[in-house]
Structure 1
């Protein structure tokens, strides 16, 4: 919480913090690194513009050698008391999890070019401190910390560093792997994600056994589970992907993680939609909106998935209504929405929104035969594709196939084949579930309606795998 007018106790805390920092000969950046926060937070604290996050005063006391003075200011009458610890979670949350395969110690496939400079990064906020801004440990020391975690049985005594530092490192690792595996198409991220996730769950279980809720560990585990599930989807493994999403939802629920629950439900929506289960797709889409109806980005996400569910259920009126509501919600996203869901803002947000709308309109056009709807699907998908970063090659293939299918639904097989031809070999060799579904849909529509058209015959002959 921040305010334009300093609260008296915050101002006193800030004055003492500044004095102790200067006495220690540290800059705000140096102090931020030592306690795991971005220097901008230290600056705001010293200015008395916000309350210290829970637990930070104690860490500052330890680093600066104040003898507990800063924590005493926080806990003094009229100040901001520490939040009570939550009770531990159900031990069943820490049962064995999916995945297998180990990599040699010290080998995590981390590209220095992709290592984040601070958190949040790639939409990942710090699991302890949210979006206030946290410093990231140096990449050079990360393998040692990760080896210590994977080798330990989870107890804090065996960890190679403090809890905040390790959680910050694990978050930075995940951001780095997202940039590599999901954006650049690197195929070696899954082993690392699942290996670290198993270690993270062991650590969470050990913390939980002491009677303390492993809040940061479970929030981060939900994020790791989501990435693991998406990487399994890239490999065509829907069952393991769904298992990871299920674990992630359990962990997110245990710590009331709104962002984690909403985005994991959206991934579950995608999987059930691929099974052509309109009823389940709608149920999960509605569950997204129920996570927190007061957050506009959550409601907007829900409308997008409801539109796709209604298209699958052949309900044109409801599909169009939710498309309209989604566009309106996206246009009204505020600063807090963009902070919590940066992937739903700016060019990336437009890409995601128009992609979902294009998919819904294409599905609707496919079942109704309405070519006006198909042309609207063409427009939405083309807008989405135009916003796509060059490095997201797999997504470009997917959207190219969808755009081709939109043209097929609009009655132009020549345009469909011309669009699909350059990516056809890449699409056929892909294991990604959504890409495969797009290819099957395009193939089926072209052959069913225009199998005798010369361009379509040539397209069919290029397919190296029968039955696609």
Structure 2
């Protein structure tokens, strides 16, 4: 909760939340000025927090235009509310914290659609609001998303800059320095610096093993099986990128091992992540010099991957396709795979 932290606030009932949110996204008169609709500021903040959790779960399972529209509509209402509070001479602390979180989700949804400019704009706004509210956690995660976005554009230098900035938010928070190492590893892989990539992977593993209760409270998604899943996925991605850049098959085999560990921990609801990791695993086999294994893994998901709307899946599919076609285009299994991709694209 942006007002009360992690004490377990009571969420208003669903009908009350709907009424509050409708008031928030209406005209200024309906918003009710600085105190929110009907003066129910705390209840509205609680409702917005609960709504965001639901929207994140929905986006996690399936990216939709309706979900993205809802996030941005509510975000604009929160910003308008923050402006009303600010006009009274008070710091809109709770509103700014929520705005930063909503901006992050809005940016991610735009990023998944390949709308890099709009995504970066939302991330930039979110970073500004997080700074105004002195929200270090939001700052670190927004910088993580900005690092991912420039990686998808192939900008290794900018990715490294954002990755280093994550660690500079608070060097005493191990979850932040762990993230910084993981993102730096991927940045160095893109710039073909094998030694630096390996060094940051090793540091990320050490720091991850030393996460404490505060880290797990602030970044619960780095706890337990989900945390291992995210760690191994990031390491697998960095090693695959490095193998693709250097041609080292031993590195590709390490990418296979890390990605397979991550894949084994996926819950059924994470369908998009399962598809992404399947393609990455196939690409790692291609980097390891086994195109038949790569094609065998990719075959069952070709149609789904071709029609996926998520940019990261499209990037993974493109990398796999280019690698197979460039090195083993005359292999019968690869020719058949390319025909399937072509057929699914028509």
2:77 counterpart residue number? 199
How far, CA to CA, are the matches of 1:326 and 1:408 in structure 2?
26
For residues 242-321 of structure 1, the aligned pairs below 5 Å read 242-321=120-199
Give the deviation of 1:160 after TM superposition.
3.1
8 Å contact from structure 2 (residues 182, 235) kept in 1: yes
* Deviations 1:179-222 (CA, angstroms, capped at 9, x unpaired): 11223445521111111000000000000011011000000000
Q: How does 1:138-217 map to 2 (within 5 A)?
A: 138-153=13-28, 154=31, 155-156=33-34, 159-217=37-95
Distance (whole Å) between structure 2 residues aligned to residue 309 and residue 193 of structure 1: 30
Contact kept, 8 Å, 2:306 with 2:345, in 1: the verdict is no
* Pairing 1:59-458 to 2, within 5 Å after superposition: 126-153=1-28, 154=31, 155-156=33-34, 159-458=37-336
The alpha carbon displacement at 1:158 in A equals 5.6
Structure of greater Rg: 1
- Specify every segment of 5 or more residues in structure 2 that has no aligned partner in the other structure, as ranges: none
Q: 1:291 to 1:464 in 2, by over 3 A?
A: same
TM-score, normalization by structure 2:
0.96
How far the C-alpha of 1:234 sits from its partner, in A, is 2.2
Q: CA RMSD in A?
A: 1.6
Q: Tell me the SS of whatever aligns to 2:342.
A: coil
138-147 vs 370-379, greater mean Cα deviation: 138-147
- 1:389 match: secondary structure: coil
Q: Distance in 2 between matches of 1:453 and 1:130?
A: 58
Query: Partners in 2 of 1:379 and 1:351 — Cα distance?
Result: 12
Q: Offset at 1:140?
A: 2.9
Consecutive aligned runs of 4 or more in structure 1 exceeding 4 Å deviation: 184-187, 465-468
* Aligned counterpart, 1:116: none
Shift of 1:467: 9.6
- C-alpha separation between the residues in 1 aligned to 2:198 and 2:38? 54
Alpha-carbon distance change, 166 to 410 in structure 1, aligned in 2, over 3 angstroms:
same
Normalised TM-score (structure 1): 0.71
- Name stretches of at least 5 consecutive residues in structure 1 with no aligned partner: 1-125
Q: Distance in 2 between matches of 1:464 and 1:203?
A: 49
Cα distance, 1:311 vs. partner?
A: 0.4
1:255 Cα offset (Å): 1.0
More helix by share: 2
Distance 1:289 1:135 in 2: 34
Separation (CA, whole Å) in 2 of partners of 1:156 and 1:223: 20
